[in-house]
Amino acid sequence: MARPHIEPFCDRDVPFKKMTMKGFGSGMHYKMLSLDTDTGACSMTVQLDGGYRQPPGFSWSELELLVVEGELQLGNKTVGKGHYVFFPAGYAQPALASAKGCQLLMMYNTGEPSLVESDTHHPLCRTDRFHRTDSYNDIPWALGSITKPSTATGCMIKLLNFNDRTHALTFLYCMTPHYWQDNISYHDCAEESYHLWGDSWIMQFGTVPTGGYFWRPAYINHGAFASEQGCIALGRVDSKLFNHFHYNPWSTVDENQTRAAARIAERDPNLYQWMVSHAHNHPHGPEDFERTMARVGGAHEAAQPHPSQDFRHSHGGSDHEHGHGHTHDHQH
Ligand SMILES: [Fe+2]
């Protein structure tokens, strides 16, 4: 079960909880914004108390971090508001500390929060994916045209991360004061947003204030939009972003999905036919670190097997099992 639809929600409405998971320092508090209860992947607002320290270590999950308020010491570097870091799974994060306390967004994308003390990277880590940037100062605002058709003018972005395999994106976006867009959108991907400052308004869900958050699964209508004062937000999509625009506020998720599939049928008819045929048609992705990580961690930590490690699946009653990543040629 992927993350459920969370909208509207504002983190100011719930208290911080104490982080007690192994590996993290005391003085770490969190508000859970969204959580995949199968994988443990989650997004959190995090408060580090003044004097917080944690040793160098890696996470079994990919981790994105954004400084929202205050200052954070990343190893011997002090970073502030707007600093963004992408840690691939297994990447040895430097010692983390905050002398006076700070507030962060932390997004564990592929598994539950974890920290294994280590000053070396895990051997399977894709270290080349690590990057960080002072997003407020070092990236200019660009037109929101990371996808076409695009949002109305007045919505701009700073691209922070791109996943070359899934086309997932992380970006800052802003809306100018008195921004508006009159059509309705839905996408083939889940969409997430945290309002760092300001307000925006969505016809179906009302006003999103500072601290406002949503995790919106695919094909859910959203828009028209407006922003009174303007806003700046952290946005993410979990796969390729395409704006399906329309003007029918009553269409359902199923109808939107069918309409999206009709586009595929028109554009890639043979691929579409194969996808909807009853043949053996599920794709086999390449082996990669994010997918092997849970098992590697499980072996080391003697943890329970993760539900996602159960590779059995059903084809109308004839269950079978196969190793992922291997080709096979059985028939149904
Ligand atoms: Fe959207």
pLDDT digit string (tens) for 55-98? 999 999 999 999 999 999 999 999 999 999 999 999 999 999 99
The three-state secondary structure class of 73 is strand
- Both tokens assigned to 133: 């940037």
Extents of the domains making up the chain: 8-138, 142-275
pLDDT value at 288 more than 50: yes
CB 262, CB 251: distance < 8 Å: no
Ligand 1 centroid to Cα of residue 69, in Å, is: 26
Ligand 1 centroid to Cα of residue 32, in Å, is: 22
8-138, which class in CATH?
Answer: mainly beta
Give yes or no on whether 8-138 and 142-275 have one common fold: yes
To the nearest whole number, what is the mean pLDDT of the chain? 88
142-275, which class in CATH?
Answer: mainly beta
Ligand 1 centroid to Cα of residue 71, in Å, is: 31
pLDDT digit string (tens) for 174-199? 999 999 999 999 999 999 999 999 99
- Both tokens assigned to 164: 């070359």
**Type of residue numbered 138:** D
Helices (H), the chain: 135-138, 253-267, 269-276, 289-301
Rounded distance between C-alpha atoms, residue 202 and residue 17, angstroms: 29
Global pTM reads 0.85
Rounded distance between C-alpha atoms, residue 278 and residue 65, angstroms: 42
Ligand 1 centroid to Cα of residue 281, in Å, is: 29
pLDDT digit string (tens) for 185-237? 999 999 999 999 999 999 999 999 999 999 999 999 999 999 999 999 999 99
The three-state secondary structure class of 183 is coil
The helix (H) or strand (E) run that includes residue 282 is none
pLDDT value at 299 more than 70: no
Rounded distance between C-alpha atoms, residue 190 and residue 213, angstroms: 13
Ligand 1 centroid to Cα of residue 134, in Å, is: 25
Residues with CB under 5 A from ligand 1 (ion): 185, 191
